[in-house]
Structure 1
Amino acid sequence: MEKRNTDVLVLGGGAAGVNASIAAARHGLEVVLIESQGCLGGSRTAAGVDTFYGFYTPGENQKRIVGGIPWEIAQKLSIEHSSFERPNTYGAGTGITYDVEKLKITYENMVLEAGVKLLFHTYACQVNVEDHHIMSVVIANKSGLTEISAKFYIDTTGDGDIAARSGAPFDKADSEDLQSLTTIFFMANVDVEKAKSIPHQKMADLMKEANRSGTYKLPREDGSWHRTPNKGVIQCNMVRVSGVDATDPFALTLAEVEGRKQAQEYARFLKEYISGFEQSFLIATSQHIGVRETRRILGEYILTEEDVVRGAKFEDAIACCSAPVEDHHSGSGTRWAYVKGDGIYHIPYKSLVPQNIENLIVAGRCLSATHGAQASARNSAQCMAMGQAAGVAASLCAEENSSFRTLNVKRLQRRLLEQQAII
């Protein structure tokens, strides 16, 4: 088996992993980033979620609460006329909708320009641990198996795969209580202005009517669609595949099959029931189904829904969030709970530090949080901010010769603020 060494191994090239890799590499560390798909971005690209949420607070007097590398990425898309801002249907705040293909290129350029060594089509299949430290990770790709030893490991897999395989404790709801999965789909040749004349509630009522007719099977009598930067092309978030543990490969495979079937059904509904869709057609489904929740690590602190709703502030804050709890449960609707007080809460550093493992940090939706809190903190801007914090933390641990658990958090906060992050 081939053996390699690096300073930092980042596992998972989604929103969190990209930012973690860039942050660590910009501090002069040798970074290897592995990704299972053939592109960077995860949910933001491969799963078709073409909008960054979480950059702004909701309401009329919106305030930007995420900066740093995430905002740098958003600005690059804006400068290239590949994105636009739009209000959110459910009061979660202004979103930044972008061209998915442009984001793939933007991520790749920034990662490679930072000096990151990038590997696509690669999985981590084994984690070797000694004395509460990860010693190496075995990866699998077209070359076979390769063992990579690093000083620090960043788990941005979304599912907390590396944390789980290292023996770090985690929580995971029963499959029926996990948030549902969604296959995003895109339609073209839509008369967007005409379609916008149909209110959201009217569309939901028509879904109920279609189900009652017996000729449709629409599990979610809700959902949304929005325009994209490309004329006549819209993105749809309607599919609901419930009761699936996405860490079970057999269940996940069947979910992919079901998701595509539902996408066809919802596309047929839009074409037959909604004005403006008469001449439309389905052009794409997401590269893989979107997963909202699987494992949540048990860290030094577990963020709770109560923390979210009351707008909790923490001394070890590394990111801000205003996103409401958005719980896509197994029913036909979605549960919402909004942040009170000043409308902002903090994500604490301790929620990124797993118990039991010293040289591992996580970022993204597998953070240490309850089911309800994760349903808020999983928004893209927050995952990106967590990623930057994890990458900077790795660089400081290298400087201090410390573990993630013993890191001087005040120094981390100062370094983040110097990089225009908002805490």
Structure 2
Amino acid sequence: MDFDVVVAGGGSAGLAAAVASARLGARTLLIERNGLLGGMASAALVHSICGLYRLPNGTAAPVLANAGFAAEFAKRLLAAGGASGPMRMGRVEVLLQRPVAFAQLCDAIARETPHLEIRLQSEIVAAEAGSITLVWRGCTGKVTGQAFVDATGDAVLAAFRGAPCEMETTRLQRPAYIFALGGVEAGRLGDDARLRLARQISQAVKANTLPAAALGAHLRESPQAAEAFVTIDLDGGTDFNPLDAVCLSRLETEGREVAVRLAEFLRREVEGFAGSYVAAWPARAGVRESRRIVGCYRLEAEDLERGAQFEDTVAYAAWPMELRETATGPRLRFPTGEEPCGIPLRALHARDDEALFMAGRCISCSHEAQASVRVIGTCLATGEAAGLAAALKVLHGEGDAAAVNAAREKIVHEHR
């Protein structure tokens, strides 16, 4: 099958890239290894959308950081009843969402988008200059394209194409394991209740009633009645490698083991949880950081801190650098100014591969900068920009930042 643009990875960044490309009229293929779209927001049960809104600066209402697909997706998710908020949490605004609703909206948008085809449950096993080899259920097939977007989170396509990549070896962000609890009594997870619960969990860990991995577990009510999400930050260990199947297998089984023990503890010891039960496991653990692609520009921590602006800005990073390298919980580094950092198109274009663009958590950036740009709201924005750039390159021979931003404005006007 021949396409203009091929997008690898059907998470928030990949969906945004594929939809943006197809809306410009490019014949677009979106490849996803799971059986549903949405990535971390659906498969890993990440239930809060971060990075959609600028940091509060005294304004009465939250302000969206990025126009275009990110704003459109948030509006439609809220209208469908799949999200609530935005909610102020300290110095940030987040949108709480239901993973089932997120995946449903992804399907709806994909269905209504002309020129877009989807290949679910398809894994990339090889790539050449103009083609990708896929495998599914013991079968193989090849698809060709003129431009490609890697939104796999692990830079899978870039690695197969031989594009330079980088990855931390000792400071990787800790992975998360998130599961859903049903049967939780309403009103049991207010601020005071969460503080009491954190103390109970801490005491249980000290008494060896709960494993150490349960320390720092965070519970949050879902927009769905009687439902809560539980997030556990796992210690990948000194040999943690998010690209290694043995390591990932250990991570998944450990996550479920800790979750079962924590769910039993809540049911037995915590008021309001007597009738609770595990309602859903994630399809996979939430890996926060992995391999990144070397681009024409590398976004640095200093850029995020000072709110850097670039001539080729095509998206904005509005989330603080959320570093989760240790068991002590997140360490937030906020910008020193009020303006969100621009993300240049050069950081979405592979340095040594003219036909390869990237979006999501594998864009060209440092370890610290990635702790900001990896969140879903920003991934929606970088995905749209990369998809527009790829489609413009195929359809018009080039797609600079001005053309990308103009195309976004045109699409916004058409989809109001």
- The alpha-carbon deviation at position 295 of structure 1 amounts to 0.5
The residue that corresponds to 1:102 in the other structure is 101
| SS at 1:262 equivalent | helix
Partners of 1:245 and 1:90 in 2: CA distance = 32
Report if the CA contact (8 A) 2:9-2:151 is conserved.
yes
> Distance in 2 between the 1:37 and 1:120 partners?
6
Contact 2:293 / 2:350 at 8 angstroms: preserved in 1? yes
Partner in structure 1 of residue 264 of structure 2: 268
> What's the offset of the Cα at 1:272?
4.1
* Partner residue of 2:211 out of 199, 207, 217: 217
Deviation at 1:58? 3.0
TM-superposed deviation, 1:31 = 0.9
Residues 17 and 385 of structure 2 are in contact (CA less than 8 Å); yes or no, is this contact kept in structure 1? yes
Shift of 1:88: 5.0
Q: Give the equivalent residue in structure 2 for 1:126.
A: 126
Aligned to 2:133: 138
Please point out which of 18, 27, 45 is paired with 1:30: 27
Could you report, residue by residue, the CA deviation over 1:260-312 in whole angstroms, capped at 9, with x for unpaired residues?
A: 11211332343344432233222112111111000011111111111111211
Structure 2 letter corresponding to 1:153: F
**TM-score by structure 1 length?**
0.91
Name the structure 1 match of 2:373: 377
Residues 219 and 89 (structure 1), Cα distance of their counterparts in 2 relative to 1, 3 Å cut? farther
Once residues 193 and 309 of structure 2 are traced to their aligned partners in structure 1, the CA distance between those partners, rounded to angstroms, is 37
Structure 2 CA distance for partners of 1:218 and 1:343, relative to 1, 3 Å: farther
Q: Distance in 2 between matches of 1:343 and 1:208?
A: 38
CA contact (8 A) 1:218 1:262 kept: no
- Check the 8 A contact 2:23/2:411 in 1, yes or no: no
CA distance in 1, matches of 2:193, 2:313: 39
Separation of aligned partners in 2, 1:201 and 1:310: 33
- Counterpart AA for 1:112: R
* Structure 2 match to 1:18: 15
- Partners of 1:24 and 1:225 in 2: how far apart? 38
RMSD: 1.9
Number of residue equivalences = 407
State the one-letter code of the partner of 1:161: V
Unaligned 5+ residue runs, structure 1? 129-133
User: For the residues of structure 1 that align with 2:196 and 2:310, how far apart are their CA atoms?
Assistant: 42
Deviation at 1:317, TM superposition (A): 0.8
Following the alignment from structure 1 to structure 2, what is the Cα–Cα distance between the partners of residues 194 and 13?
35
Shift of 1:100: 1.9
Asked whether the equivalents of residues 147 and 355 of structure 2 are also in contact (C-alpha less than 8 Å), the reply is yes
Q: How many percent identity over aligned positions? A: 28
2: CA distance, partners of 1:42 / 1:240:
19
**Aligned twin of 1:189:** 183
Could you tell me whether the CA contact under 8 Å between 1:54 and 1:66 is conserved in 2?
A: no
**Mapped partners of 1:251, 1:330: distance in 2:** 18
Task: Map Cα deviations across residues 131-178 of structure 1 (whole Å, 9 max, x no partner).
Answer: xxx22111111361111110111111010111122111111011x421
Match of residue 196 from structure 2: 202
1:264-413 matched pairs, under 5 angstroms: 264-402=260-398, 407-413=399-405
- Distance in structure 2 (CA, Å) of the matches to 1:179 and 1:268: 28
1:8-30 C-alpha deviation (Å, 9 max, x unpaired): 11111000111111111111111
Q: Distance in 2 between matches of 1:272 and 1:348?
A: 51
Structure 1 residue 246 displacement after superposition: 1.3
Determine helix, strand or coil for the equivalent of 2:362: coil
Instruction: Judge conservation of contact 2:389–2:400 (CA < 8 Å) in 1.
Output: no
Counterpart for residue 131 of structure 1:
none
The whole-number CA distance in structure 2 between the counterparts of 1:63 and 1:27 is 27
